[in-house]
Structure 1
Amino acid sequence: MSPQVRVLGIRHHGPGSARAIVRALTEFEPDTVLIEGPSDADPLVALAGSERMRPPVALLAYATAEPATAAFWPLATFSPEWQALQWALWNDADVRFCDLPASLALAADRPVGGDGRDPLAALAAAGGYDDFEQWWDAVVESGSGDEPGGTPDFDAITEAMSAVREITDPDEHTARREAHMRQVLRATIKAGAQKIAVVCGAAHAPALSGKLGPAAPDARLLRGLPKVKSSLTWVPWTHSRLSTASGYGAGITSPGWYHHLFTHREHTTARWFTKVARVLRDEDLPVSSAHVIEATRLADTLAALRGRPLAGLGEVTEATRAVLCDGDDVLLDLVTRRLVVGEALGAVPDETPTVPLDADLQARWKSLRLKRSALSKDLDLDLRKDLDLQRSQLLHRLRLVGVDWGVPAASTVRSTGTFRESWSLRWEPELSVAIVEASRWGSTIESAAHALVLDRARSPEVSLAQVVELLEQALLADLRDAIPQLLAAADSAAALDRDVEHLMAALPTLIRTLRYGDVRGTDLTSLGHVTDGLLVRICAGLPLAATGLDHDAADALRHAVDEVHTALGLRDEPDSTDRWLDALGALADRDDVDGLLTGRAVRLLRDMGRMGEAETTRRVSRALSVGSEPAVKARWIDGFVGAGGLLLVHDRNLLRLIDGWVSGLHEQDFLDVLPMLRRTFGAFTPPERRTLGEMIRGGVPVHAGVAVDAERGGRAVRATALILGVPA
């Protein structure tokens, strides 16, 4: 008896197709099931039957020598391929994949899988349906002539696709894929299979139906194709990633909705609106049972008016907007993200093949009680606790090796202590590829991070700032064995780098590391010597480095000066501070330096008490005196005032000088310097701008002195001293 072959053309990730596949397989009872997918993934098929395998999941294939070259074949609960796998495993049928092997697909100079077009979705759109599942139910299932729950006519789908293929011929890559599918089918028949079911995309069904013809043309088409050594495994996937193009061609826009359609066949619409209500209630919005009932009625009515047997996503969305969201598109977007797309994250069993680095990561996150989630989760850490400290070290090590599971975030805890760290955790499927890429550096997260840091530090092109940044990251990641070599690399890079701006860019990071390194219990004595040597070179070269700069370069140097000044204040080491202030004094006395820099130097010296009020006023008067161009004066004022509006609020003499200069500008001069002045004063906070405006308009006299109530002031001083615990 000749073998029976039934080709079941489906839509990838379609709930209707998934239900139809189960019914068709149950009716046909094949002994062999061939599924569209990389044929070299056959050894992984058995894992799909594990109780610990929970969709959505994906087959991951990557080039063994170059893991960045990778591809995914995702499967959800409502994917026909997944349901076919499950049926075959539960019914002891032989099951295998029949598409091009990943070793060939990865070597092809094109994306894996289809071209992004969905022929069945195109048929649905041509029939006037904006939701494929509505079309499938109305035309394929309900309109098939079968009894309710019967098997749709897959032959009719194949016939429709044959008509489509007559208009658009498949490209060369698709022809090779179909040639390989036919070769696998021939081999399956030759091996003795009697009843064979082929589950493939509807577009391929005509190429696999009927007589297969001679094998020679297919063999010639596949001969000589480029090939790479590849590795395959299962990895967790997410619903949101199903909404993008994948190894199975076109993505879907509503995976959460499709999952709901597949898992809830009765009272589908009412149950959906119940989920929507729950999401809105979680946001403290008043949604009652009456809202759910009214939304269900509206969706069903819209479907009836449009001549459709069931409410689809379009009707459900309109009812959600009108009844549950009160027309608010922001709330509708929330429902779309949470439910229509969804963020379900799958799981794979522990015995799934993986690289040693991934196994170490899984063991670490389990021991640290961290969970992977497709939703962003805030994690606040207290580094005084051993568990939180280890969590921090793991997340920093992962960032070093390029696995950005955690991203530093603003703290949700009202504390400014250096023992606080906040992270935002979110697992993305692409991180599985990043783990494979990082595995070349070591078999554990710690060893991989250690090797990668040292490799970057030894690079001939590495700059001093980059070495210092690596040192800081290594301290945060607790890579203690790498610290001595990184310190030596920083010392060597500093000795070879003659660019003062490069040295200034590195200094704040070094000081920050010195200041906060003791929180993590690291000995940084040798780092202090590197920092001191760096500061000596910066102070010696700053006046010369500031000479002859254009405006852009002066702006950049001013930012670097501010960063170094702030960092030295953080270090609070008298000798270093004195050396830095001496350098600023030399800069302030230079007449051949951009006024932005000399004005900034004067301001910083005044703030640190190195320059008295009288001297400061004299320098401001000289900078604004007749003889300089208005634009030059504006640059000086920008450097002096910067973002410090409080200086002018409290120092009325300086405010009077600047006010007098601005008031005395001629019309054209005023227009010329207005952009610079707007940038300067626009950086003030709103309260500062408001106060200064009132003072200038006369609300607060600029020239008059301020009366001081000594008794009230004394009470304030004593109260402050009591709070600080110092003698009044």
Structure 2
Amino acid sequence: MEKTKKVPELQTTLQLLESERQPFIIGIRHHSPACAYMVERILEEYHPQHILLELPVFFRKWLPFLNDKDIQAPVALAGGEENRLFSFYPLADFSPELVAIRWALRNNVAIEPCDCFVERSPVENDSYVIRNDYVLHHLLDQFSCKDFSSLWDSVVETDSGDPWKIRRNALRLGWALRVDSFLDESIDRSDLIRETFMRQQLQKYPQQQKVVVIVGAFHAAALLRQPLLWQETTGKICEDTTTSLIPYSFDLLDSRSGYPAGIRDPLWRQGVWETLRNSGCIEDTMAKVLTQICQAIRDEDHCAGTPDAIEILRMAKDLSSLRSLKTIGRGEFLEAIETCLTQGEIYGRGQIVARALQKALVGEQRGFLHKRVPRSGLYANIEQNLQILKLPSLPQLEKQPKQLVLDPLRSSLDYKRHVFFERLHYVGIQLVEKQTTQQISVSSPLTSKWSIAWNPVVEAQIHTYAINGANITQVCEGVLRQRQQDANNEVYCLEFACHCILPQSARKILCKLYETPQKLHVNHQVLIILEKIRSGLIPGFEQSDLGEKTYEKYVQHFYERLLASLEGIGSKPEDLAVMKEVVQYQIRNSYESLYLEEILQRFSRCESYMIRGISHVALVLLQQQTVADFAHCLCSLLREAQYIEMAKKLCDFLQGGIYLADELFALQHDWLSDFFDEIEVMDDAQFLQRLPFLRQGFLPLSRTSRHEVLSWLKERYDEDLNIVHSTRNTPQWVEQDLYARQRLCELGFEMPTHHEVTTRNKKHIKKTTREQQISPQDRCSLIFGYAPRHSGFASQVACCLDELYGSQSGSPTESGFPTIREWKEELQKFFQQQICDEVLAQSAMQGRIAAISEINPQQVTASIDLLEQVLSLKGAASEKQLQHLRKLANRIIDELTQELSQKIRPAFTGLSTPKPTMRNTGKIHLKKTLNANLNNAYYDAKNRLHIVPNKIYFQNKVKKSLGWRIVLVVDISGSMERSVIHSAITASILARLPALSVNFVAFNTEVIDFSERVQDPLDLLFHVSIGGGTLIAKGLNYARNLIEKPAQTIVVLISDFAEGGAVSHLLHEVDALKNTGCHLLGLAAIDNSGQPCYETAIAEQVVSAGMPVAALTPLELSRWIAKKVSK
């Protein structure tokens, strides 16, 4: 459909829609009281032979039950498949569809659903964006409405006298919405498929029969004999599925509950429908509603009475008259209430009025189904279980939800309840909800807290899942089988089977995991589940349920795999959690593993200083290293931290060690003594250079450990650092001290003079030198975030750092800085420019985006860390801030590119030199031409040298002569930011070489080709969005399609190899690439510290499939490529 296509005129179309009798079309809006009234009256007058209703055909069997006199609306028709509820149709007394169904069944008229389900439920789209030059815009202006919903109320709901006029207005608005959607090319494909299906159903009836079609007004034009603004569209539809009829409620029918019907205040609409049906006066209905509202307000001890109600009614009438409405509309009624009752108080009286409106306009009416309505076997089984387990019945739970704390290890009843609740929880039936989130952890609590509540949605879920079996055990097994089809769900399915006490399923899953190599985190999670089974933290599941293999054999197997997987560990939080669990597991079970000790020794010398810190502390805990060795390493780093890069490494080292075992930092005083000895001998400049990084490094220290350290420092300096001094309280303290001194003297105690000090620990109380304005005590306070007390200079420094890190004293040293600029100026008094930039960048990362604007692009020191921080802010920055970010990132990238280019280009010496040729390319190869014609050189009379060439050589483009293509396939899933930065910069350098052409293919779960942006790394990085899952096979498949000359193509995959899809698909793509004859290389991702980070189990399989995997720097990668190209 094109925008230029002619749109039929409004009046002509309306005449056609009104006069059409084959079929007779009634356009409605779901849950419209006016439409419900109109449908009943028109059906009485027209008396059709057949009625077709916009309702999916798979609900056909439930229509006879909807006219049962014992059924009370609201009710809902629900449909789903594969344990997914996707089709949901609430029906109230004022719903036109329910009115039509009841009329047809009362009058013995055939009624059939004529719709299908495609992708979404057929509801009007009230969020449609209305264009200024479209039809709806003019209608909104004409009726002074702000959106389509209020326009419908003004045009249709308030014109409630003549049913034929209501039909005309409804068709008019439906046509206007369709025209706008057509012009904006936003008619959804699913709507066209559904309309095609409706037309097919309509063709089953002869033209001579009186057929009425009741559909949404938007679809009316598509069902004419000569349809308008429609084209035939086919697609996959769902005609048969699991369906159910369930009771519903007004509070859920209201759109504010999340149901996308586009209606509000269902109780109000119920009253309007009853008034229209009984030919009553709408003002009488409003008077009753106002009486209820005023009564509810008075019940909360606020004034509201008859004068207020009279004034509201008068104002609503006046508003309706001003807007040329025949009756008072809902919008005018609410506007009058807001004006007269809330009196401008939004939070006080306004909230009380809102609660009163909730009762009077939304209501709490519940639907009811008779026992004759069929229910699933699962529904009956759940009712039976509730009775056996001495729990409230479903009606009781609907009125009053219940909270339970279960202790399944001590009570048999609690155990049975626990298993029942776990099964409901894992299946996805929301009858129960865990109040406390139980993560996979050995230290899970022994009790569990649950809330039990019933609502109509739960009943729909029960009937949807009932296809899997007649009781909850069968349903669990069926749902588990379906979820096992996802290869990445194995650990979850094992947990599912264990918690739901399905031992046979658990054995099958565990055997499958045992026989195939798994990712690092899979091994970790399986090991923890096994540990929980051993500890009895999964009630009802015993070690003997694991089958033939003993528990110890499973544990040993997965533990060995976990150790082997540590080779590719990085400094991501989830990786550190695995490493911490491994060490604690080793200590807890007293295993002797030389392999673990060897890994830790190797990690203690790796690139990542956070992993170094963990490794050193782990070796201490495993008694493979002394505390003195750890102290020596830490003090060495402290001495070397005179440059910012080393200071960052010191910070990472501290954080890593504290993360693993902060109690070591608190209880082992040997390292504390050596560390603070080093701190004391530094001059102020040296100390301040390290201070921000020391402060950040000790931030993860727990409150308990921090208290232990402070106790030790109190003994060392004879002073409690955890006391906040306030100048406001000083006079009061002095007065109290003097009074206490006087009383002690009167009692005969000898008091020391003002200049005496105790000798205890006097050796640690050193005098402040000329180079030290900050005392040792204040230095400790600054490091741990407490308020200094010996120096105003130290207090100013503390105030600067508290702005970023906060104060540990319970109150800040001073009030915060009003602007970022003032804070920056204060920082520059105490710290070097590079440290100031680092502090500002960290502040921006924590949410103060304006801080990045204070970093001067011309003075900044380029680093990958800073670039990574800048790029992470691009999504949260304003347009002005984004411009500054671009300048800053451009400056950093230029400097990093220039630095890396100087190292890379020499590796390609010879490749970038243009080759000489005798063919005229328009550009002379001067050196070759001169060398070839030196024998024709001569000097003229003025002794000037001339050469007469008889052989002329021209430059040839190396790109044409070599034709090498480098395809970089880069994983941009979460935690890959640093690798993406390196890849982009390296790609831009390689792309500038005339010998190579470079493709940059980014992928997560989708693939995007950024090859056209590869020359500009800044543009590329600003367009790349890091995050999402990982489908490496998809990226490699795209790369394979780029290959033209396999012998001259190098495909480089940069990823952490954490494949989110089936590993078999990945291996197939690697094998297919290898068979093309191109050159392959897999590069391990690097984390924030430069440490290679990848899944070793999958990487090993990729190597076996034919792609070598290595951990290379950009320079090493360039040398590898140069070596391949030069062969």
1:201 aligned residue (212, 216, 231):
216
Say yes or no: does 1:46 pair with 2:67.
no
Q: Structure 1 unaligned runs (5+)? A: 707-728
Show the 5 A alignment for 1:538-549: none
For the 8 Å contact 2:178–2:218, the answer to whether it is kept is no
**How much does 1:637 deviate?**
2.0
Kept in 2: contact 1:39–1:96 (CA 8 A): no
Which residue type is aligned with residue 169 of structure 2? I
Matched residues in 2 for 1:643 and 1:88: separation? Answer: 72
Q: Is 1:479 paired with 2:502? A: yes
**Structure with bigger gyration radius:** 2
The answer (yes or no) to whether the contact 1:14–1:78 under 8 Å persists in 2 is: yes
Alpha carbons 1:511, 1:567 under 8 Å: kept = no
Q: Label 1:228 to 1:290 Cα distance change in 2 as closer, same or farther (>3 A).
A: closer
* Pair 1:230-2:209 in alignment: no
Distance 1:267 1:340, change over 3 A: closer
Q: What do the CA deviations read for 1:278-308 (whole angstroms, capped 9, x no partner)? A: 6x99xxxx82262476874674465255345
Aligned with 1:511 (options 503, 516, 531): 531
Q: Distance in 1 between matches of 2:123 and 2:658?
A: 61
Tell me which residue corresponds to 1:116.
125
1:384-395 alignment runs, 5 A limit: 388-395=414-421
8 Å contact from structure 2 (residues 140, 146) kept in 1? yes
Q: Which amino acid aligns with 1:475?
A: C
1:290 matched to 2:322? The reply is no
Maintained 8 Å contact 1:59/1:232: no
The answer for the alignment partner of 2:651 in structure 1 is: 634
Distance 1:81 1:254 in 2: 19
What amino acid does structure 2 have at the position aligned with 1:76? A
SS in 2 for 1:37: strand
1:79-103 residue CA offsets vs partner (Å, 9 max, x unmatched) = 12222323444x4342513534x3x
Q: Aligned match of 1:421 in 449, 474, 478?
A: 449
Q: Distance in 1 between matches of 2:61 and 2:137?
A: 33
Taking structure 1 as reference, are residues 326 and 158 closer, same or farther at Cα in structure 2, changes over 3 Å only? closer
The match for 2:165 is 153
Whether contact under 8 Å (2:28, 2:217) holds in the other structure is yes
Selected match of 2:31 from 3, 7, 13: 13
2:96 paired with 1:80: yes
Contact 2:35 2:166 in 1 (8 A): no
Q: CA deviation at 1:15?
A: 2.6
Q: State how far apart, in whole Å, the 2-side matches of 1:435 and 1:375 are.
A: 21
How far the C-alpha of 1:449 sits from its partner, in A, is: 2.0
Q: Secondary structure at the match of 2:698?
A: helix
How far apart, CA to CA, are the structure 2 residues paired with 1:166 and 1:339? Answer: 35
Aligned-partner Cα distance in 2 for 1:560–1:290: 62
1:380 to 2:401 alignment: no
Alpha-carbon separation, structure 2, partners of 1:164 and 1:589: 72
2-side partners of 1:166 and 1:539: how far apart?
63
Matches within 5 A, 1:430-445: 432=460, 436=464, 438=465, 441-445=468-472
Could you say which residue in structure 2 is the equivalent of 1:396? 422
Q: CA deviation at 1:48?
A: 0.2
Does 1:577 find its partner at 2:603? no
Q: Could you say if the C-alpha distance between residues 204 and 584 of structure 1 is closer, same or farther in structure 2, counting changes exceeding 3 Å? A: closer
- Structural mapping, 1:253-402, within 5 Å: 253-255=264-266, 258-259=269-270, 261-262=272-273, 266-268=284-286, 271=289, 274=292, 287-288=300-301, 290-291=303-304, 296=309, 299-300=312-313, 302-304=315-317, 306-307=319-320, 309=328, 311-316=332-337, 322=343, 326-327=347-348, 346=367, 348=369, 352=373, 360=381, 364=385, 369=392, 371=394, 377=401, 379-382=403-406, 383=408, 388-402=414-428
2:571 corresponds in structure 1 to: 552
Q: Against the structure 1 CA distance between its residues 430 and 680, is the aligned structure 2 distance closer, same or farther, given a 3 Å change threshold? A: farther
Q: Specify the alignment match of 2:87 in structure 1.
A: 71
User: Where does residue 59 of structure 1 map in the other structure?
Assistant: 77
Question: What SS does the aligned partner of 1:552 have?
Answer: coil
Determine the structure 1 residue equivalent to 2:1032.
none
Q: How far does the alpha carbon of each residue in 1:18-48 deviate from its partner, in whole angstroms, 9 at most, with x for none?
A: 3454555567777765544345644421110
- The equivalent of 1:619 in structure 2 is 630
Q: Which whole-Å deviations, capped at 9, do the CAs of 1:169-203 have from their partners, x for residues lacking one? A: 9875576467457647756x63xx7xx76644345
1:624 positional shift: 1.7
Shift of 1:562: 2.7
Could you say which residue in structure 1 is the equivalent of 2:112?
97
1:450 to 477, 490, 506: 477
Check conservation: 1:605, 1:611, Cα contact below 8 A: yes
Q: Which amino acid aligns with 1:113?
A: P
- Where 1:312 maps in the other structure, the secondary structure is helix
Residue correspondences, number: 653
Q: Say if 1:507 and 1:535, in contact at 8 Å, map to a contact too.
A: yes
* SS of match in other structure, 1:473: helix
Q: Is the 8 A contact 2:26 2:214 kept in 1?
A: yes
Alpha carbons 1:42, 1:97 under 8 Å: kept? yes
CA contact (8 A) 1:133 1:312 kept: no
Distance 1:598 1:241 in 2: 55
Superposition deviation, residue 422 in structure 1 = 2.0
> Tell me, what secondary structure is at the counterpart of 2:423?
helix
| Contact map agreement 2:58 2:240 (CA 8 A) in 1 | no
* Cα distance, 1:589 vs structure 2: 9.2
Within 2, Cα distance between the matches of 1:321 and 1:581? Answer: 74
**Could you tell me whether the CA contact under 8 Å between 1:299 and 1:316 is conserved in 2?**
yes
Instruction: Name the SS for the 1:478 alignment partner.
Output: coil
Counterparts of 1:19 and 1:120 in 2: how far apart (Å)?
Answer: 25
* Counterpart residue number, 2:581: 563
**What root-mean-square deviation, in Å, do the aligned CA atoms of Structure 1 and Structure 2 show?**
5.8
Report the Cα distance in structure 2 between the residues aligned to 1:263 and 1:479, rounded to whole angstroms.
53
Structure 2 residue identity aligned to 1:96: I
Native 8 Å contact 1:56 1:76 kept in 2 = yes
Separation in structure 2 between the aligned mates of residue 683 and residue 318 of structure 1, nearest angstrom: 53
Q: Match for residue 470 of structure 1? A: 493
The Cα of 1:596 is off from its aligned counterpart by 3.6
**Letter in structure 1 aligned against 2:404:** D
The whole-number CA distance in structure 1 between the counterparts of 2:558 and 2:681 is: 39
Contact conserved, 1:474 with 1:483, CA < 8 A, in 2? yes
Q: Secondary structure of the equivalent of 2:536?
A: helix
Greater relative CO (CA pairs within 8 A, separation 6+): 1
Query: Matched residues in 1 for 2:99 and 2:455: separation?
Result: 26
Indicate how the Cα distance of structure 1 residues 424 and 647 shifts in structure 2: closer, same or farther if over 3 A, else same. farther
Shift of 1:616: 2.3
SS of residue paired to 1:642: helix
Distance 2:65 2:668 in 1: 75
- Higher deviation after alignment, 444-453 or 694-703: 694-703
